[in-house]
Structures are given as structure tokens and as C-alpha cells.
Chain A
Amino acid sequence: MKITFWGVRGSIPSPGPRTVRYGGNTTCIEIETDEGELIILDAGTGIFGLAQKLLKHLPVTCSIFFSHTHWDHIQGLPFFTPFFIPKNRLDIYGAFDPVSTRSIKDVLGRQMEYCYFPVREAELKAEIHYTTLHERQTIEIGRAKVTSILMNHPVLNFGYLIECNGKSVFFTGDHEPLYNIYRPDDDYYDEYEMLIADKNAGLIDLIERVDVLIVDAAYTSDEYPLKKGWGHGTFDAGISLAKKAGAKSLYFTHHEQLRSDDELDSILIGLRKRYPIGPEFPPYSIAQEGLVIEL
């Protein structure tokens, strides 16, 4: 299994000299299985670079799984060139929108409507299939299995576990660890704690001993109090999840849009002092555009 990061930035593309090393494109992760099946997680602007690579190997058959449909995870999709070429086959997966009661096809199709994009979804030449996923649904792609689990974000957000030939990777999508909305002296505090514990236990159960854990770490713990409820995690929370799940390696992604490369380096140095890699904490690093992990 080969994992490639094509976009690691959160919220909005942030190109420029301050982000040139880690990259300014928004979320896109490519996973190529040992059998050559192609699984893509999210279609932020990073997917444009991936598209250029794929054009050298036509026809393309791939499966794109959307963690959720906020702009920074879908914005590159209309520029995913394989869409426009006949004989390519794209299978697209994502959550239902319970508020507008629209399928993943309808939600994604809207960003290709007349006023947003010159080509309508109906005009694309590739063979495209859409599947609206529910929680804990497993899709088989060749010998790989992709399983969805609801995470915590201001829109339905799936984390995806990809397993193939005894190796596994889990991507949280955008995720803020759950916190109790009640005060300890409120009636509902204990109930809420239990609900959180149940939900967390379900996640740990799914991703236990995962080889590669990729987490949303948009904020430092110092920044977090002002961003609470925005739906993103912290570096510390990522390390805590990796420890609880017994993950074998950990990568931080969804870098905050104003975070410079030097700041990311400095955060990593600070983390390694507080959480030395060893028996207690697995190896961890900051996801970088172009980084390839081979399992």
C-alpha cells in the first residue's frame, strides 16, 4: 500500500513562500493498493496535481471517498481532468446531507452548476458512479476494504479506514474530539460523558493497531480554546488518539491556513520534547505535500 499526500492544508489554499515546503493545497490523499487499485480521499485543490500524474496512465479507474463536502475537500473536483475523458471510470462515495436531504451526487453536482463552473456534471465524459454511504458501511475495492465512521465536524464527516493485505490506514477527515457541552453540576453531564465514552470506544475499536493514522491537527492546544466548536482537532489530541488506538504511526494534516512552514517545524520540535517517540508514543510527523508512505 502506498499513501501519497497531495494536499495537506485546511480551509483555503494557501500558496506562497511561507508554505512552500509543507504545501498550500487543500486536502487530497492518494492510496494505491498493492494490486494497483486507486483510492482517493477527498478532492481539495491537491487533487489537481494527482490528476496530472494520472493523465500519463489512461484510462483511469479510481474511487474517490469524500470525508465531507465543505469547500476545501471538494473544490478540486471540477478540475480533476480524468472526469472529462471517455473510458475513465470514477466511483464517488460520500455521506447523505440530512439537512437538505440531498445525496452525495446532488451535493457535488451543485458546484458544477452554470453559475459556478462552465461544464455541467451531466456533460462529463467519464463513467461516473455515485454511492451515498451510511455509517459503518464497508466498500470493497479489489482486495481493499474501506469502512466509514461518523466523526465530529459541523457537517456530517466520515473518517475512513482502508485495509488491504494486512495493512491499514485511517484518515479522520475534519474532526474535533468530542467534548461535554454541560457543566459537571448539570443534570445531563454524566449522560453526555457516557455518550462520548461510547462513541470514542467505537472509534478505538475500529482503528485499533492501525498502521498509519492521519489526523486533523489544525490547532495547537494554546490556540484551541478560541476555536472550540469549529470542528477541528489539535496536535495533542492526535497524539492522544494514536496512543489510545495503539497506532503504529501518526501524521498531522489540515494545517491551519496561516501556519508557516517554520511554525510547523517549531511545533513538531516542541511535541517531540513533550511526547518522545518510543514505547509510549508512536513515530509521528507533519504531513507534507508529496510525502509518500509505503507500507
Chain B
Amino acid sequence: MDMVERMPAFPISVHRVVELTSDINADPKELVAIIEHDPVLLMRILKLANSPYFRLSQKITSVNHAVVIVGFNTVKNMALSIAAVGVLRLKTESGFDMEGFLLHSLSTATIARLFAKNMRVPTKASFDYFLSGLLHDYGKIVFAHFKPLDFQRALIMAREKGIPLHEAEKEIFNIDHAQVGSILGEKWNLPSNLVDVMKTHHRQDCARPLLTDVVSASNQIGKELKIGEGGNPVMEKIPDQITGMFGANVEGIVGALGDVRGEIEQAMVFATM
């Protein structure tokens, strides 16, 4: 657990955090944007802000929330201390495409945010959609970074047998990425709706909150549009709650959401040097 707590962030965001924090006049908005487009930085900032050190009376649910409560300079220096740990290795023995994973996370987050806008989710709650989309597969980076060879076996097994990656992970690790992410989320006092998304985004056998169904649908739509790579060869059914509102046809949903590809392209700026 200690090692996972110190996991380094993606190279591009580490580079940008170092660049921004060396400029005394840097725009706070830019730093917030960098943090919230990197799953590792985001997870670690949320963990710090929700840690027992602060014992805040309310959960910190976004980077902006952290900035308002603990102050910009504290968030900035926390980000810099995370950046000082080093950079996430993009090529591990697992063969997992970390850059593809980042794109997958960003596209899921962006599509989830578009769903929230389209469904007129109240402003305060709408930002949970982007954040949950970005972090839903966090357990996969943990596997790829800390157990690359076993994760490689899971990736190959999923591909060869044509089974969902989380089922292959269970065969190899006895635990899947959804469980890993949610265990970390619980341990780190993250908001419960986010933990729920990490835990149940592949489970269609139980009633789930709208947020989880949206992230699950966004995950599938991103795959359908072939943006990024999450390592799962199997497409899942779009949840009923979403098809009930938008119909079952993926292109139809994409059309209803607006400029999906354009929005994703904007988010991609954070994934490329």
C-alpha cells in the first residue's frame, strides 16, 4: 500500500507541473487542469486532501474544491512533491500501452462530462462525472506498474480467450482492477460516489447510481470510437438507464451528446508532449 501511495504520475503532467511551479506568476487554472487530466496526480491530490491530516468536515470532491479549502499554494506544492517522485514508466514488461490507457481514461471522462451536460445534471454534481470517468480504471495502472508480468498474462488471457479483462485479472490476481481501485479509494477516504464507480463499473447485475451507469456507458462509447486502449477486448452492453434516455445505438448517443470527438481532442492536449 505504501508503494502504491507513492506511485509517480504520467511524464507529461510531471513535466508541466515542474514547469508551472517554477513560474511565480503561473495561472492557478492551468495547474488545476493538469492535475485533473492525470489519473495518478488526481488520485494522489484527492487522497492528500481527504487525508486524516486535514480531517475536514466534508469530503474533497474535486481539485477546485481542494484549492478552495486548503489553498492554491498548498495544492501546488503537493503537486510538486508528487512530481518530485519521478515519472510513471510508459513501457513496462506488461506490454500495456500506458499512453493508450491515458487516452482511454480521458475519453471516458470527457464523454461522461458530456452526458452530465446533456442530462442537465446540476453544476455541483456534474464535475463528478469527469473525475469518475478519469479514475474508473485506476486499478489497471496499479497492476501495470507494480505487477507488470502478471498483468501481461491477464491481458494475453483476456485477448486469447475473448473474455473481459477483469475476469482474466481475477484468474491471475484473485482480485480485479475494479476492486483494487475501490479498495484504494476507500482506504484513502475518497468520495463514496467515486469509490462506487470504481467498484461497480463492470457490474450489471445490480442497480447502480446514474453516475456509475454514465461512466460505464462512456467507457463503452470510447472503445466503440476506438479512442485509447483500456486492454479489455470485450464490449459491454450500454446500461438500460442510458439506453432508456438516449436509445441503444452508439452513433445515435454520440450524435445526441454533441461534439464528442472535438471535446475529446481538446482533452488530448493533456496526453501529448
Contact = CB atoms under 8 A, between A and B. Distances in A.
Contact of B65 (A96, A136, A157, A195): A195
A192 B64 contact: yes
Interface stretch (B52-60, B184-192, B199-207, B248-256): B52-60
B74 A134 contact: no
A194 B124 contact: yes
B52 to A, nearest CB: 8
A63 B226 CA distance: 62
B114 to A, nearest CB: 12
Interface in B21-74: 27-29, 32, 48, 51-57, 62, 64-65, 67-74
Given A98-B53, A199-B68, A199-B69, A156 B74 contact: yes
A134 B50 CA distance: 12
Nearest to B58: A198
B127 interface: yes
B174 interface: no
A150 interface: yes
Chain A interface size, under 10 / 10 to 19 / 20 to 34 / 35 or more: 20 to 34
A181 B28 contact: yes
Contact of A154 (B68, B71, B124): B71
Contacts of A99: 74, 77-78, 81
A36 to B, nearest CB: 31
Contact of B71 (A134, A153, A186): A153
Contacts of A150: 54, 56, 69-71
B57 A135 contact: yes
Contact of B123 (A96, A153, A182, A194): A194
Contacts of B55: 134-135, 137
Chain B interface size, under 10 / 10 to 19 / 20 to 34 / 35 or more: 20 to 34
A117 interface: no
Given A135-B55, A191-B123, A181 B67 contact: yes
Contacts of B48: 98
Contact of A191 (B53, B62, B74): B62
Contacts of B62: 191
A229 interface: yes
Nearest to A199: B68
Contact of A98 (B27, B64, B70): B70
A195 B64 contact: yes
B53 A152 contact: no
A227 B171 CA distance: 58
Contacts of A188: 29, 32, 64, 127
A192 B56 contact: no
A181 B67 CA distance: 10
Contact of B64 (A136, A154, A191): A191
B56 A155 contact: no
Contacts of A178: 68
Interface of B: 27-29, 32, 48, 51-57, 62, 64-65, 67-74, 77-78, 81, 123-124, 126-127
Interface of A: 96, 98-101, 134-137, 150, 152-157, 178, 181-182, 186, 188, 190-192, 194-196, 199, 229, 231
19 contacts: A96-B53, A98-B53, A98-B54, A98-B70, A99-B77, A135-B55, A135-B56, A137-B55, A150-B54, A154-B73, A154-B74, A157-B71, A181-B29, A188-B64, A191-B124, A194-B123, A195-B64, A229-B72, A231-B73
